[in-house]
Structure 1
Amino acid sequence: MPLPRLGVVIVTMGTRPQELAALLASVEKQDAAATRVVLVGNATPLTDVDTGANVTKIPLTENLGCPGGRNVGLEALCASGEVDVVVELDDDGLLIADDVFRTVQRLFAADPALGVIGFRVADENGHTMRRWVPRLRSDDPLRGGQVTAFLGGGHAFSVRMLREIGLWPAEFFFTHEETDLAWRALDAGWKILYEPDLVLQHPATSPARHAVYYRNTARNRVWLARRRLPVPLIPVYLGVWIALTMARTRSLSGLRAWWGGFLNGVATPCGPRRPMRWRTVWRMTRLGRPPIL
């Protein structure tokens, strides 16, 4: 079977020029060349970004958020008919090996049901933070296999899968967009593979550094439940996360923002409701993470 054609999407706000240059260089050095690389500028003209001839720049006049910006790149690649697999990378990430794309191609070629490959994210010392491991109760970031989630910083999508289930939920703007897409993929019968040998080097940062983190986290969890869960699981899922948030959050301002987002998620439209089937709930449970956590 021929190896699938591979494209790359990177979204940037133009605030990390050195990291972006290093990332583009690591993409260029891959031993399996990408057919096309798309660089999306979220509210940035990209005029100061020096790229190779194989990079298509798409500057946007407004910030569409992470999922909205990625959708622009995905739409460009899917419409081109030139790629079968898309790799998406954070602009402050780095591919430290030169065979990442080749490995991605081989994995997709070997399994037609594979929809998503999640990379292992590690800091400059090779350490993978616990929250970067897409499993519950797992302290071993080197254990790969089928999972129910993936990290947005480094992953690969089947274009066939995207055409079936749709793109990122742009209205989420930031946080939990990966979960919405993962649940749709699983419900459509696609596999999600965590492959720890595919490494994206990334700074060990906290998502709470973003001002919208607490509010969007709560709002998007409510939207996610309303959009994707069977009715009996909605109060269970939200109740679990209310309890966990109250136990974990030490910032009073953060809690106020979280509850503001929660109420906003209840009161505002969340998009079309397409709940997962009960057999998907059972499949996720067998994979180690039922959709209540």
Structure 2
Amino acid sequence: MSHPRVDVVLLTMNDRPEQEKTAQATLLAQRGVDLRICVVGNGCVPDIVPSDAHTVVLEENVGIPGGRNAGARALTESGRPGDYLFFLDNDATFPTDDVLARLLAEADHHPEAAYVQPRLTGPDDATTPRRWVPRLRAGDPSRPGVITTMTEGIVLVRRDAFDAVGGWEASLFAYEGLDLAYRCWSAGWSGWYAADLRMHHPVTSPTRHAQFHRLAARNRIAVAYRNLPASLIPAYLTTWTAITLARSARHGGIRDSLQGMREGWALRHAQARRPMSWRTAWRLTTAGRPPVISTPAHPRSIRSPAGGTP
């Protein structure tokens, strides 16, 4: 009996071997799917590689989106790419052996969705911080529905949508999910949050990484200039800046946030502009997230730019 084929991309810097062994073991235990796996060494030669998996060795750390693109490209070039790509952080685990098969079933049930997002919890299978719920109304993480952003480290993406929009934006280096989500929506797709499907991830804070505040701030400006109609950019950035500064004043990182804002502003015109249509802006609005509302990355919400989650 043939099974649906999924290409899996996993980045590593050989910095968490025990967690990576566990992640790969739960991946290989998935049933009801045919897997092709690519382990990408982001500035290293991967130490842990499953049998028959592809390997990409990058001479330097090119960032999370660039590394993921390299893995997706290697699987394409190896022939017969799968219909879906699954991007997996190297410290995330599947709590049961049917998660991928059920995610594919969700994708079949929602053919309009370019990407399907499982519910992310801590290892206790219950704790879901608000920052991990990929929608504005995050009070009930068990509620499924249409989403306009993504938790990019654990997400299923249709291969044809991924290729059509050009994959991840490598210049962002990290914190790239909103950009890909916007481009998928601009191409006529949407996203789906499959809240009843869980994936496990350690609950950790990225603020121990010096680049967090700077890159998160820089990239918000870059994403706005890349994707929004010109008349929406001031409203988006005004809202985002006010919230970012308020949160930075409470939680720290205001100096790095300001530096990132300066970098983003200085480099804004270097962005490749592909502004969404007003129809897309309206679709985002009716889906619950007008593209003038920006929830900045919380100081405890985003992965390390080193190649996995902190």
| TM bin (shorter chain) | over 0.9
Q: Indicate the residue corresponding to 1:9 in structure 2.
A: 9
1:214 aligns with 2:223: no
Q: How does 1:56-75 map to 2 (within 5 A)?
A: 56-75=54-73
Q: Indicate the residue corresponding to 2:298 in structure 1.
A: none
Is 1:119–1:151's contact at 8 Å kept on the other side of the alignment? no
Amino acid at match of 1:72: A
Is 2:4–2:34's contact at 8 Å kept on the other side of the alignment? no
Q: How does 1:70-219 map to 2 (within 5 A)?
A: 70-79=68-77, 80-125=79-124, 126-175=126-175, 177-219=176-218
TM normalised by structure 1 equals 0.94
Amino acid at match of 2:123: E
Is 1:85–1:159's contact at 8 Å kept on the other side of the alignment? yes
Amino acid at match of 2:164: E
Q: How far off its partner does 1:33 sit?
A: 3.8
Residues 204-250 of structure 1, C-alpha deviation per residue, up to 9 Å, x if partnerless? 11232321111111111111111111111111111111110121113
Q: Indicate the residue corresponding to 2:305 in structure 1.
A: none
RMSD of aligned residue pairs (Cα, Å): 1.7
1:287 aligns with 2:287: yes
Is 2:113–2:191's contact at 8 Å kept on the other side of the alignment? yes
> Take 2:239 and 2:97, find their aligned partners in 1: how far apart are those partners?
42
Residues 230-279 of structure 1, C-alpha deviation per residue, up to 9 Å, x if partnerless? 11111111111111012111379721111111111111254310100111
Match of 1:249, SS state, is helix
Point out where structure 1 has 5 or more consecutive residues left out of the alignment: none
Residues 51-91 of structure 1, C-alpha deviation per residue, up to 9 Å, x if partnerless? 33232121211001111110101112233323110111111
Deviates more, 1:244-253 or 1:199-208: 244-253
Q: How does 1:238-253 map to 2 (within 5 A)?
A: 238-250=237-249
Is 2:221–2:237's contact at 8 Å kept on the other side of the alignment? yes
Q: Indicate the residue corresponding to 2:223 in structure 1.
A: 224
Q: How far off its partner does 1:286 sit?
A: 0.8
Amino acid at match of 1:132: W
Is 2:4–2:32's contact at 8 Å kept on the other side of the alignment? no
Runs of 4+ in structure 1 over 4 Å off:
none
Q: How far off its partner does 1:102 sit?
A: 1.0
TM normalised by structure 2 equals 0.89
> Take 1:112 and 1:173, find their aligned partners in 2: how far apart are those partners?
30
Q: How does 1:19-30 map to 2 (within 5 A)?
A: 19-30=19-30
> Take 1:143 and 1:243, find their aligned partners in 2: how far apart are those partners?
29
Q: Indicate the residue corresponding to 1:274 in structure 2.
A: 274
Is 1:11–1:42's contact at 8 Å kept on the other side of the alignment? yes
Q: Indicate the residue corresponding to 1:262 in structure 2.
A: 261
Is 2:3–2:34's contact at 8 Å kept on the other side of the alignment? no
Q: How far off its partner does 1:114 sit?
A: 2.5
Amino acid at match of 1:181: L
Amino acid at match of 1:78: T
Point out where structure 2 has 5 or more consecutive residues left out of the alignment: 295-310
% of aligned pairs identical?
A: 39
> Take 1:182 and 1:274, find their aligned partners in 2: how far apart are those partners?
13
Change (3 A) 1:130 1:138: same
Residues 134-187 of structure 1, C-alpha deviation per residue, up to 9 Å, x if partnerless? 111321111111111110121001011012111100000012x10000000011
Is 1:4–1:108's contact at 8 Å kept on the other side of the alignment? no
Match of 2:285, SS state, is helix
Q: How far off its partner does 1:3 sit?
A: 5.8
Change (3 A) 1:253 1:35: closer
Amino acid at match of 1:75: R
Is 1:180–1:224's contact at 8 Å kept on the other side of the alignment? yes
Q: How far off its partner does 1:103 sit?
A: 1.1
